[in-house]
Amino acid sequence: SEEMLLHSEKLSVVGQLAAGLAHEIRNPLTAIKGFLQLAARQPEYTAKYIDIMCTEVDRISGITNELLAVAKPQLAEFRPVTLGSIAHRVCELLKSEALMQGITLELSLNDEGAQVLCETDRIHQVLVNLLKNAMDAVADGGQVEVATWVADGLVYLRVTDTGIGMDVETLKRVGEPFYTTKSRGTGLGVMVCQRIIQSHGGCIAWDSRIGEGTSVTLHLPQHIDE
Ligand code: ADP
Calculate how far, in angstroms, residue 101's C-alpha sits from the geometric centre of ligand 1: 18
Query: CA–CA separation, 194 vs 138, rounded Å?
Result: 22
Calculate how far, in angstroms, residue 107's C-alpha sits from the geometric centre of ligand 1: 21
Calculate how far, in angstroms, residue 68's C-alpha sits from the geometric centre of ligand 1: 20
Task: Output 145 or 6, whichever has higher pLDDT.
Answer: 145
Calculate how far, in angstroms, residue 133's C-alpha sits from the geometric centre of ligand 1: 6
Among 13-17, 64-68, 157-161, the least confident range = 13-17
Q: Which residues lie closer than 8 Å to 46 by C-beta, 6 or more apart?
A: 39
Query: CA–CA separation, 223 vs 30, rounded Å?
Result: 49
Distance set, CA 124 to CA 57, 156, 225 (Å): 25, 15, 22
Pocket-forming residues, ligand 1, beta carbon under 6 Å: 129, 133-134, 137, 161, 163-166, 170, 174, 179-182, 185-191, 214
pTM across the whole model: 0.81
Decide if pLDDT at 221 tops 60.
Answer: yes
Among 9-23, 85-99, 131-145, the least confident range = 9-23
Q: Does the ipTM surpass 0.95?
A: yes
> Which tens digits make up the pLDDT trace of 61-81?
888 877 777 666 666 789 999
Decide if pLDDT at 154 tops 80.
Answer: yes
